[in-house]
Amino acid sequence: MLYDLIIIGAGPAGLTAAIYAGRSLMNTLLIEKMAVGGRILLSEKIENYPGFPEGILTSELISRMLKQVSGLGVKIDSDEVVDIDCQKKTVKTSSNNYSAKTIIIATGARPRKLQVIGEDKYIGRGVSYCATCDAPFYKGKNVVIVGGGNAVAQEALYLTRFATSVRIIHRRQDLRAAEILQQRILKDEKIKFTLDSVVTEILGENKVSAVKVKNVLNGAEEKIACDGVFIYIGYQPETTFLKGKLELDQAGFILAGEDLSTTVEGVFVCGDCRKKTLYQVINACGDGAIAADSAYKYISK
C-alpha cells in the first residue's frame, strides 16, 4: 500500500501530527518502536500544558491523544524502523516494508550520558535516568541528581517523596529551571545543592555508594556518599539511522525550515529530534501540527 504519510515516532509530536493528518483525510501510518507516548512517559505528570491548571498525568494525556488518533482511522504499527530511503520515501521496519508520498520524522531523543567512570557499570544498580521509574527503590536513602534544568527540579521534588535527602549537583552557580520550580526546590528542606561542580566518577562495589565531585572554579575534589545517581544533562537525538540521508547538525539534530521541511523534499520533522531552542511537550505538539500541515500541502500541489 502507498500511504499518503508515514510518521516515525509516536510521542506527543508524532501523535499530534497523526491527529492533524487524520483530520485532513490523509491515509496515514504511525510507527513506534516503544510504547505509544515515547519517553515522555518517564515523567509522571505535566504541569505546564495549557488547559490543565492542576496539571495532568502524562499517561492520561497520552491516552487522550491516542484515542483521538485511533478515532481518525490512522493505522499504528508497533515496530522498529531499521532503514529509510528518504528520496524514494520507503521505510523498512523489522518485519515490513512501506512506501509513502511523504514522511515525518518524530523519533525524539534519549537521555545524554555523563561519560564518566562508573556510569555504565552501575546502570540499574544506582545509576538512573528516570526518577519516576526508579524513585521507589530509594525510600529512606540518599540520592544525587546531576543537572540544572526543569527536569532536575521536577524529578528532585518527586524524589523527596521517597528519599531521605536529595542533592542537586550542577556545573554552574545558577540553575536553568523555571523560576516557579526553583522556588519550590529552594523551600524543600530535603533538597541540598552542590553548585559550580561536576561529577567526575561514580563509585561503589556491587552498587553505587558515592560520587566524586570536582569544583570547576578551584579544582577542589570531594566524595559525596549516596545510594543513587539520577542524571539529567540533556538529550541525544534518535537520528543515527538518518546519517548521510538528511542534513544533521554536529549533535545529530535534524535541520529544518519554518515549515519543518528537511533537506529532502517531502520529508518533514517534528519534536525533540529537530534543532530548536526549547524542548517541551507543548512545542513538540506545535511541531506535529505544522509538519502534518506541510505534508498535506506537499501532496496537494
Q: Which residues belong to the active site?
A: 130, 133-134
**Nearest CA-CA partner of 202 in 232, 220, 226, 219:** 226
Residue with cell 577542589: 220
To which residue does cell 536553568 refer? 176
User: Which stretches within the chain are classed as H helix?
Assistant: 12-23, 58-71, 131-134, 150-159, 179-187, 281-299
Rg (CA), the chain: 21
Tell which residue, 227, 233, 229, 242, has the closest CA to residue 273: 242
Q: Distance between CA 127 and CA 116 in Å, rounded? A: 12
According to DSSP, residue 189 is labeled T
